[in-house]
Amino acid sequence: MLFLRINTFGLLTLLVVEHQCVLEMVMERFELDVVNASYFKELKFTVRKYSRTSKRYLNAYAIIVKPLGKNMMVTATFEEYLHNEYKPTFIHLDFKWCDLLESSYMRLKERYGIPCPTIPMEYNVPNMTIYTELFPETFPIRQGRIRIRAYEASPPIAIASGYLYATFTKKLKH
């Protein structure tokens, strides 16, 4: 940010104030479309806000029947809400399951200790956040949804699919 100020002595003073903005993703809700019963006995995602001033968190609950390993892929496609419809954008993220657990976007292995391959059992993962520090501060979407699909790469089998609705805002970094 650039400010010009003329002081009482008639001198022109140039003040340069540097601030960093960071992208903040405000999650609204999660809708599941498809859940493969041969992989999950139960799968549930909820978005929760614990107080008026707190941010929203994504909570996950799953009972896994088959192990989830290196051959499972997770795809995230961003869709922008324009003119009362969701239109796909150029932002597309592909992860292998084990890479997603260790990625800097989610940090699931670091925070919750979820192993890879993920063994069949009951998992409760509360207060998940998506770390948006790696996204650029000039993000092209204001409001939209993220289509998340999980599938096996070979042979291609759909495991789960859903939408995470969110808004994206700039926030000053403290």
CA distances from 45 to 23, 26, 58, 61 (A): 23, 15, 7, 7
DSSP 14-27: EEE----EEEEEEE
Q: Which backbone phi and psi does 109 adopt, to 5 degrees?
A: -70, -40
Selected residue with higher pLDDT from 143 and 154? 143
DSSP 106-140: T-HHHHH---SSBPSSEEEEEEE----TTS-SS-S
Q: Where are the domains of the chain?
A: 24-172
75-126: per-residue pLDDT in tens? 999 999 999 999 999 999 999 999 999 998 888 899 999 999 999 999 999 9
Handedness of CA 131, 68, 147, 76 (dihedral sign): positive
Task: Name residue, tokens 């992860």.
Answer: 95
Region 44-61 average pLDDT: 94
**Would you state the pLDDT for residue 10?**
47
Per-residue DSSP letter, 68: B
Q: Which two three-digit tokens encode residue 13?
A: 């003073």
Bond from prior residue into 136 cis (ω within 30 degrees of 0): no
Q: What whole-number distance in Å separates Cα of residue 132 and Cα of residue 85?
A: 25
**Would you state the pLDDT for residue 13?**
47
∠ at Cα 153 (150, 155), nearest 5°? 115
Fold of 24-172: Ganglioside M2 Activator Protein; Chain: A, (2.70.220)
**Would you state the pLDDT for residue 67?**
94
